[in-house]
């Protein structure tokens, strides 16, 4: 297994029209190993001219790509999935370092979901009914054109592939700007695309910063749709820019997701579930259950279970198989999360465990971006840690006197991505689920399914990814009015 000998990865070119093309600038952004703080690679900080070249290639390629039969397009998608599968371990190793995700998630959803995305998009494409009759009209679904995709660093490959797979399945071509913080797996995707012999220009990747490359994609007149995953702040900016040219947007943004534990819930199981969900990917998840909303009478017991569960978690380098929680992605992210912990203390929340002290073990040298898994209790929605997205291993426990108040607290932030309920009476749990303002609700620890829609209400976004719903985001709708005497 490769661990420490993984070579430095410098991405020096963009992937445009099926080839590696030198960018118009010489600037680069470093990529850091989250475990050590050392530089393990770099990617270009490209400019508008590089976006122009990629969009031109995508526009030209789309003319032919949209005319291929669904099964021909599906074959290419499955070929990309096979190429990614062949490089699964290499991709996992890159994510372990650039994001700090532990081995289980790096080899699991971080890399398996991207492979599955291409296969599932191929399945949907082959079975999809592109034409429907409504009265005298034929309603047709058509590709939109050139799609621009801009993505975050926390699931660096998945966020790119869920957009690329479903956009191109629908007959579009795409120009992608991966996160400059974690760009390395996007270069492997480009190589997989080349090996799969995808027609030139169908998938293009331009590396660079948000304000330069990102905004050049968003404002480009030939980019017909934008699909974005990232912070609500950047999503609002992208939505505002896209509105200037009336382009469609799909936005997957932030979250502050609540877990409502009902009075009759199996408490140990419910609290352990909540803590486990929060810690996945070291707390760097838009849909992490970061708020635990519990009956006031059970608060001491909940605090005890949460503390014991958190304190038993092994924090360490993601490159070690025993580590359950690894470092955060960057020094910026570490400082941001530590800042929120300080804020929680100064705003009067009760620190149950964790805090801002450095992690003390020999391997976790001071340069890695570690943060202690932390639990706060007696949190309210008017505290920053109760309403703002922290994006780290920090849990906020809130208490309620009756279930109406629990729902009010749960719905009391600007976000609405994910929510969860735990209770012994399934009907009562489902009735709470129906009242929660969230695009996804997990009841009693139910599993997600990547064929089901993923996305949020309120400031968590617009549109859905995954499965048929994600596929349809990338289609235009045309009603064709045909006189009766001309129809079969
Ligand atoms: P970010 O918003 O800082 O950056 C995301 C991407 O947008 C990056 O590629 C960045 O370069 C680009 N960008 C930034 N400003 C831009 C601009 N003005 N125009 C165009 N592009 C711009 O977010 P991040 O720190 O990379 O990721 C963390 C955020 O992503 C969190 O808020 C998290 O909740 C969110 N996220 C959401 C989902 C979801 O599915 N809802 C999934 C993962 C992450």
Which residue has better confidence, 5 or 206?
Answer: 206
Residues 138 and 17 grouped into a single domain = yes
Count the domains in the chain: 2
Percentage of the chain modeled with pLDDT above 90 = 94
CATH number for 406: 3.40.309.10
Active site residues: 252, 286
Ligand 1 pocket, 46 CB below 6 A? no
Residues 411 and 269 grouped into a single domain = yes
* Strand 457-458 versus strand 415-416 pairing type: antiparallel
Residues 338 and 285 grouped into a single domain = yes
User: Which tens digits make up the pLDDT trace of 430-444?
Assistant: 999 999 999 999 999
- Residue 249 forms part of a structural domain: yes
* Residue of 230, 244, 290, 394 to test ligand 1 pocket, by largest number of atoms within 8 Å of CB: 230
Provide φ and ψ at 182, rounded to 5°. Answer: -140, 75
- Residue 488 forms part of a structural domain: no
CATH number for 246: 3.40.605.10
What's the CA angle centered on 287, arms 286 and 289, to 5 degrees? 120
Residues 312 and 329 grouped into a single domain = yes
Residues 103 and 204 grouped into a single domain = yes
Cα-trace Rg, the chain = 23
Beta strands across the sheet bearing 14-16: 19-21, 14-16, 203-205, 173-177, 146-150, 225-229, 248-252, 461-462
Ligand 1 pocket, 180 CB below 6 A? yes
Residues 334 and 270 grouped into a single domain = yes
Residues 231 and 106: their CA atoms lie apart, in Å, by: 22
What local confidence, expressed as pLDDT, does residue 5 receive?
45
User: Which tens digits make up the pLDDT trace of 453-477?
Assistant: 999 999 999 999 999 999 999 999 9
Q: Check whether 37 has a pLDDT greater than 90.
A: yes
Give Cα 371 to chain centroid, integer Å. Answer: 21
Residues 225 and 324 grouped into a single domain = no
Residues 288 and 356 grouped into a single domain = yes
DSSP string, 389-417: ---SSEEEEEEESSHHHHHHHHT-SSEES
Ligand 1 pocket, 163 CB below 6 A? no
CB 233, CB 256: distance < 8 Å: no
- Residue 483 forms part of a structural domain: no
Q: Other C-beta atoms within 10 Å of 461: how many?
A: 28
* Residue of 99, 156, 234, 287 to test ligand 1 pocket, by largest number of atoms within 8 Å of CB: 234
- Residue 487 forms part of a structural domain: no
- Residue 341 forms part of a structural domain: yes
- Residue 486 forms part of a structural domain: no
Residues 66 and 140 grouped into a single domain = yes
Residues 143 and 128: their CA atoms lie apart, in Å, by: 13
What local confidence, expressed as pLDDT, does residue 7 receive?
74
- Residue 484 forms part of a structural domain: no
Q: List residues bridging with 248 in a β-sheet.
A: 225
User: Which tens digits make up the pLDDT trace of 86-101?
Assistant: 999 999 999 999 999 9
- Residue 352 forms part of a structural domain: yes
Residue 367's pLDDT band (boundaries 50, 70, 90)?
A: confident
Q: Domain limits at 151?
A: 9-253+460-478
pTM for this entry:
0.97
Residues 166 and 312 grouped into a single domain = no
User: Which tens digits make up the pLDDT trace of 207-248?
Assistant: 999 999 999 999 999 999 999 999 999 999 999 999 999 999
Ligand 1 center to 235 CA (angstroms): 7
Ligand 1 pocket, 154 CB below 6 A? yes
User: Which tens digits make up the pLDDT trace of 16-34?
Assistant: 999 999 999 999 999 999 9
Residues 261 and 247 grouped into a single domain = no
Residues 174 and 238 grouped into a single domain = yes
Ligand 1 pocket, 41 CB below 6 A? no
User: Which tens digits make up the pLDDT trace of 59-86?
Assistant: 999 999 999 999 999 999 999 999 999 9
């Amino acid at each position: 297994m490769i661990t420490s000998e993984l070579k430095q990865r410098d991405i020096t070119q963009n992937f445009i029209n099926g080839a590696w093309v030198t960018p118009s600038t010489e600037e680069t952004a470093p990529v850091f190993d989250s475990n050590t703080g050392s530089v393990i690679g770099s990617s270009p900080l490209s400019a508008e001219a590089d976006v122009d070249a990629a969009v031109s290639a995508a526009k030209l390629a789309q003319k032919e790509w949209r005319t291929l039969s669904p099964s021909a397009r599906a074959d290419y998608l499955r070929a990309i999935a096979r190429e990614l599968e062949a490089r699964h371990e290499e991709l996992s190793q890159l994510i372990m370092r650039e994001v700090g995700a532990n081995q289980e998630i790096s080899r699991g959803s971080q890399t398996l979901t991207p492979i599955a995305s291409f296969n599932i998009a191929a399945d949907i494409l082959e079975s999809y009914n592109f034409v429907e009759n409504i009265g005298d009209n034929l309603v047709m679904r058509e590709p939109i054109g050139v799609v621009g995709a801009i993505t975050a660093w926390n699931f660096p490959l998945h966020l790119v592939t869920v957009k690329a797979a479903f956009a191109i399945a629908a007959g579009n071509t795409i120009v992608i700007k991966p996160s400059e913080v974690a760009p390395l797996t996007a270069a492997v995707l480009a190589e997989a695309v080349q090996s799969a012999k995808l027609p030139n220009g169908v998938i293009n990747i331009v590396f660079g910063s948000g304000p330069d490359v990102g905004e050049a994609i968003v404002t480009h007149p030939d980019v017909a749709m934008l699909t974005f995953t990232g912070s609500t702040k950047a999503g609002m900016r992208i939505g505002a820019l896209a509105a200037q040219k009336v382009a469609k947007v799909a936005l997957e943004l932030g979250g502050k997701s609540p877990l409502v534990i009902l009075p009759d819930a199996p408490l140990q199981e419910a609290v352990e579930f909540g803590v486990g969900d929060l810690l996945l990917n070291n707390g760097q998840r838009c849909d992490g259950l970061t708020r635990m909303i519990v009956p006031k009478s059970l608060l001491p017991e909940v605090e005890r279970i949460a503390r014991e569960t958190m304190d038993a978690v092994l924090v360490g380098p993601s490159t070690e198989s025993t580590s359950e929680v690894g470092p955060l992605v960057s020094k910026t992210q570490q400082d941001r999360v530590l800042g929120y912990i300080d804020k929680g203390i100064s705003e009067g929340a009760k620190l149950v465990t964790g805090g801002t002290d450095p992690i003390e073990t020999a391997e976790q040298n001071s340069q890695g971006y570690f943060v202690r898994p932390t639990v706060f209790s007696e949190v309210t929605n008017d505290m920053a840690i109760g309403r703002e997205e922290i994006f780290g291993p920090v849990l906020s426990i809130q208490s309620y006197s009756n279930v109406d108040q629990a729902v009010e607290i749960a719905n009391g932030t600007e976000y609405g991505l994910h929510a969860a309920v735990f209770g012994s009476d399934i009907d009562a749990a489902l009735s709470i689920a129906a009242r929660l303002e969230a695009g996804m609700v997990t009841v009693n620890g139910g599993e997600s399914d990547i064929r089901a829609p993923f996305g949020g209400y309120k400031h968590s976004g617009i549109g859905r990814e995954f499965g048929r719903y994600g596929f349809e985001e990338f289609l235009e709708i045309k009603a064709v009015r045909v006189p009766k005497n001309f129809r079969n």
